[in-house]
């Protein structure tokens, strides 16, 4: 079920909300929790029920291992705690590896050894990347004795809670469980409901109205056009850069808003990432819960910056390389991860050398680097990425609309042409440029949704603002599309 669908907004969410609080109101708190688990698994199974046994197996296995790890010292077990953790992590990674990377490895094996091992063509279980990471974090926290003892129902709520189940934010056991346990959270909180509705409306608008509009030009440029001139290529890459931002941050806003209806505060995942003035700053603002996971459970265990400087660079690079692979089983993702790893290494070296850069220049370089690297992230094939990048540097392929030829004809001596078809490969027009310009203004100069939520006041203005966002979004639900991060 998609957050941006009629069945979710008008049926699933209201029913779940009212039944959950009704049961709590009747002091049937355990039943209410059980109902929330049932609703979450129903939400998950809506796509395809065959995924359900796998997530249940994963939850059960991790719960058992997690409990053993948490109780290890208390019970003076004879087996090694580290070995148990290793088994747990291995299980999770094997599951992820089998479903997500089997065909990728087979394809590469066949290429290197010129063999013909048949592909498995496994369907990627929904959200496996997210719930695997979340549970690895839980196991490590249990190993570090940072988890308290909770029952299976609590643990299942922690993993399967529907607002964050499919595409994050990736949450910690420690930040969620006390919230579910808090008795005050079992009563309807009208301020949270108002705030939740406010944030949800922003997220819905971002996804339905903005991201899906940019998707058209990005898809035309990446998947349909055979060649792109300079303006088309830049329009394509910027469209995707904005599409991804509004799509993913829109999803996160919706998740945060829905969770608030249930008095659960999910962590912030975006903090105006395109305002970042360095690549390090960017990763502190983009998909913040993933960055936190990679730092806590990969970068620091690798040694972080506690070893030599060279090791620090290597750790940074490896962390982002693996982060790239986590996003998708393909060389374009690996390359994207490597690019970011390299950029972070350069950034660290730059800082260590004591060089400084004006914030504006830093922002310009960072944004353009991110924009260019998204090309690899988005392209289905290398050739598509090369096509877009080639267009972005094709200074001999600049065309303006014929309507401007009268006033700007002097540009012709600089190799700039005028054509009726100057953006025909991506089916963009004058209105598209207004969209692009507005999108850029929004991400560069406006407050993000979390900042808006912090200043949220119960006023006619905010009620009207939110209502208009809902009206336009609801009336655009007929072009329902999936979220980009569902694929990762």
Partner 1 sequence: MNKMQWIRINFIIVCIGVSLIASFNYIIDRYGLNNMVHLEGINTNKISNTNITTRFQISTLSHGGYDTLLLGSSRIGVMDPKVVDRYLGGHSFSLGQPRSVTSIQYDLFLYALEFNTIKNVVYGIDFLSFNKNNMINTEYLDKEEKIKSRNREYNFDVYFSFDSFIKNLKFIKHNISGQDVSKIKEPAVYLPENGMRKHVVYIEALKNGTLDLDNEIHEHLRQYFGGKENNIYYNYTFSDKYLEYFKKIVRYCHDHDIRLWVYMPPMLGEHFDAIYAAGYFDEYEHYEKEIAKITDFIDFTGINTISMDKDNYWDSSHLREEFTPVVMARIFYDTSVKVPNDFGVLVTKENVDAHLDALRTQVRPYDIRPLLINNN
The tokens of 267 are what?
């962590």
Residue with smaller CB distance to partner 1, 20 or 488? 20
Residue with smaller CB distance to partner 1, 260 or 276? 260
Residue 157 CA: distances (Å) to CA of 50, 165, 264, 402: 20, 10, 12, 59
Query: Are 156 and 165 a contacting pair, CB within 8 Å?
Result: no
122: left (phi over 0), alpha (psi -120 to 50) or beta: beta
Least Å distance, CB 449 to partner 1, is 16
Query: Are 316 and 348 a contacting pair, CB within 8 Å?
Result: yes
Backbone angles phi, psi at 46, to 5 degrees: -55, -40
Query: How far apart are the C-alpha atoms of 160 and 115, rounded to whole Å?
Result: 41
120: number of Cβ within 10 Å? 10
Least Å distance, CB 193 to partner 1, is 6
* 419 strand-pairing partners: 401
Residue with smaller CB distance to partner 1, 191 or 446? 191
Least Å distance, CB 219 to partner 1, is 13
Residue with smaller CB distance to partner 1, 141 or 212? 212
Residue with smaller CB distance to partner 1, 455 or 459? 459
Residue with smaller CB distance to partner 1, 6 or 437? 6
Least Å distance, CB 145 to partner 1, is 40
* Long-range Cβ contacts of 474-481 (<8 Å, 24+ apart): 474/9, 476/208, 476/209, 476/212, 477/4, 477/5, 477/6, 477/9, 477/208, 479/208, 479/212, 480/2, 480/4, 480/5, 481/4, 481/212, 481/215
Least Å distance, CB 464 to partner 1, is 6
Least Å distance, CB 480 to partner 1, is 9
Least Å distance, CB 184 to partner 1, is 16
Q: Summarize as ranges the residues that interact with partner 1 (CB under 8 A).
A: 190-191, 193-194, 197, 458-460, 462-464, 466-468, 470-472, 474-479
Backbone angles phi, psi at 419, to 5 degrees: -150, 150
Residue with smaller CB distance to partner 1, 442 or 469? 469
Strands 417-419 and 399-401, by their bridges, are parallel
Least Å distance, CB 198 to partner 1, is 8
Q: Catalytic residue, from 72, 172, 173, 327: name it.
A: 327
Helices 152-160 & 173-181 angle (0-180, nearest 10): 120
Residue with smaller CB distance to partner 1, 3 or 104? 3
Q: Is there a catalytic annotation at residue 327?
A: yes
323 Cβ neighbours under 8 A, 6+ residues apart: 290, 294, 298, 337, 340
Active site residues: 327
């Amino acid at each position: 079920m998609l957050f941006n669908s009629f069945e979710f907004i008008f049926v699933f969410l209201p029913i779940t909300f009212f039944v959950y609080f009704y049961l709590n109101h009747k002091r049937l708190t355990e039943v209410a929790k059980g109902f929330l688990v049932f609703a979450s698994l129903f939400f998950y199974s809506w796509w395809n029920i065959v995924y359900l046994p796998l997530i249940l197996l994963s939850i059960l296995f991790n719960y058992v291992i997690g409990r053993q790890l948490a109780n290890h010292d208390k019970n003076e077990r004879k087996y090694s705690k580290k070995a148990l953790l290793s088994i747990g992590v291995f299980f999770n990674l094997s599951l992820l590896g089998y479903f997500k990377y089997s065909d990728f490895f087979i394809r590469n094996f066949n290429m290197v050894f010129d063999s013909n091992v048949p592909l498995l063509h496994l369907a990627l279980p929904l959200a496996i990347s997210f719930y695997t990471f979340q549970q690895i974090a839980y196991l490590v926290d249990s190993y570090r004795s940072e988890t308290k003892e909770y029952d299976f129902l609590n643990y299942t709520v922690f993993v399967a809670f529907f607002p964050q189940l499919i595409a994050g934010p990736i949450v910690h056991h420690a930040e969620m469980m006390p919230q579910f346990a808090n008795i005050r959270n079992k009563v309807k909180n009208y301020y949270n409901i108002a705030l939740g509705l406010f944030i949800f409306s922003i997220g819905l608008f971002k996804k339905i109205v903005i991201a899906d509009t940019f998707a058209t030009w990005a898809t035309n440029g990446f998947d349909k056009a055979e060649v792109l001139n300079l303006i088309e290529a830049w329009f394509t890459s910027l469209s995707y850069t904005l599409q991804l931002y509004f799509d993913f941050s829109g999803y996160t806003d919706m998740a945060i808003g829905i969770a608030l209806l249930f008095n659960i505060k999910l962590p912030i995942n975006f903090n105006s990432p395109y305002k970042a003035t360095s690549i390090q700053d960017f990763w502190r603002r983009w998909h913040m819960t993933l960055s936190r996971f990679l730092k806590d459970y990969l970068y620091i265990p690798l040694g972080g910056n506690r070893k030599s400087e060279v090791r620090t660079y290597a750790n940074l690079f490896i962390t982002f390389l693996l982060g790239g692979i986590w996003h998708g089983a393909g060389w374009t993702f690996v390359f994207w991860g490597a690019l970011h790893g390299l950029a972070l290494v350069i950034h660290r070296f730059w800082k260590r050398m004591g060089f400084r850069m004006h914030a504006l220049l830093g922002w310009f370089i960072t944004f353009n680097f991110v924009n260019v690297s998204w090309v690899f992230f988005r392209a289905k094939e290398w050739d598509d990425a090369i096509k877009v990048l080639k267009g972005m540097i094709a200074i001999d392929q600049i065309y303006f609309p014929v309507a401007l030829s009268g006033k700007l004809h002097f540009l012709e001596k600089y190799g700039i042409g005028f054509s009726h078809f100057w953006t025909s490969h991506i089916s963009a027009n004058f209105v598209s440029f207004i969209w692009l310009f507005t999108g850029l203004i929004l991400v560069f100069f406006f407050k993000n949704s979390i900042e808006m939520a912090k200043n949220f006041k119960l006023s006619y203005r905010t009620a009207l603002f939110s209502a208009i966002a809902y009206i336009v979004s609801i009336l655009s639900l007929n072009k329902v599309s999936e979220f980009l991060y569902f694929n990762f």
